[in-house]
Structure 1
Amino acid sequence: MLFVRAITGLNRLFFLLSAGLLYAMAPLLLIDVVCRYLFDSPTVWASEMALLLFGPMFLLAGPYVLHLKGHVAMDVVRRLLPARAERLVELLNFPVIAAFCLILLWYAGPLALESWQYGETSFSAWNPQIWWTKATVPLALLLLLLQTVAEFVRTLIEGPAPEETVTTPSGTTPSGEVKR
């Protein structure tokens, strides 16, 4: 289970990094708005930089969100199944996710490499290099693939992880269920 903990820990680091990117984007947009409306002189770089950070922000958070079971799921049907069938369905989902990652990696890897080799830029007034943004696509896919393998191993050994439910101070979940 060291592999599972190591991959999940690595993806948690990237999750926290992506949260940090959100805190980096907010001041960039604030600078742009202040410069535009107070000084009538918009920046050529702030909104584009925020846009370039947005993609990596959500891509790098995705693998850890898989661990948290935060992605959209058809759990209405799954919850009606007995525990063994639910585990089987969960185990069958992971190869589908892995295949998706491998297919996308096959195409995204060469595109990111080509972008780096050519020093691709955004062709805007600021014109920054964008290879680093494109490189986060195969990186995130690789991390998602590793997390998928880790979740498959964890589910195979331990069974489905109990879902972490957030409750309000009144003891209800966001959907209104009473948590006992």
Structure 2
Amino acid sequence: IVPVMLYEVISRYLFNAPTTWGMELALLLFGPYFLLGGPYLLHLKVHVNLDVLRQRLPPAQGRWLDLFNLILLMLFFAILLYYAWPLAIQALEFRETSFSAWNPPIWPFKFAIPIAVVLMGAQSLAEFLRVLFRDTDPAGSSL
């Protein structure tokens, strides 16, 4: 994304020759990059959290809250996949383009949504199983 935007800025301001594709390509690259980074961020536990309640709970109750949260996440991803997959298939069938001056095909980029949803659901399931089967010592902290 950075090289594309750098090329666009240089061509626009130094050579007074803006491209018709620079901004659109940056957007098309950023969407899948953003979506496909989600499962990795979930694995690293660096998503934005509101831990006010979680920090005040004992470890055992916090564990149940984590399990409940992950079940809700998996349900959300199942619903999202239910609606995203037909839209990606429809975009493929119609060979959808952006209808801009450059007019690139955007149907491949629309498949990033269901792929990212499946990966997020799988990572949520892995995190659920990790929390569910994680051993805890008598004090309640994880081993």
Q: What TM-score comes out, normalization by structure 1 length? A: 0.73
Aligned equivalent of 1:144, options 120, 123, 130: 120
User: Which residue, out of 10, 14, 21, partners 1:45?
Assistant: 21
CA RMSD of aligned residues (A): 1.5
Gaps of 5+ in 2: none
Over residues 41-99 of structure 1, what are the superposed CA-to-partner deviations in whole Å (9 max), with x where a residue is unaligned?
A: 10111211011011111100001111122222221111111110010100111110001
1:19-58 aligned within 5 A? 25-58=1-34
Map of 2:58 onto structure 1 = 82
How far off its partner does 1:159 sit? 5.4
Aligned residue runs from structure 1 range 1-180, under 5 A: 25-158=1-134
Moved over 3 A (4+): 159-162
The count of aligned residue pairs is: 138
Distance in 1 (CA, whole Å) between partners of 2:58 and 2:13 is 59
Q: In structure 2, what is the equivalent of residue 172 of structure 1? A: none
Q: TM-score, normalised by structure 2?
A: 0.92
SS, match of residue 147 in structure 1: helix
CA distance in structure 1 between the partners assigned to 2:124 and 2:50 by the alignment: 18
Q: 1:72 to 1:159 in 2, by over 3 A?
A: farther
For the 8 Å contact 1:59–1:140, the answer to whether it is kept is yes
Q: What SS class does the counterpart of residue 48 from structure 2 fall into?
A: coil
Deviation digits for residues 82-121 of structure 1, max 9, x if unmatched?
A: 1100101001111100010010100100000110111100
- When residues 107 and 140 of structure 1 are mapped into structure 2, their CA distance, relative to the original with a 3 A threshold, is same
Identity of aligned residues (%): 49
- Would the aligned equivalents of 1:87 and 1:159 in 2 still touch at CA under 8 Å? no
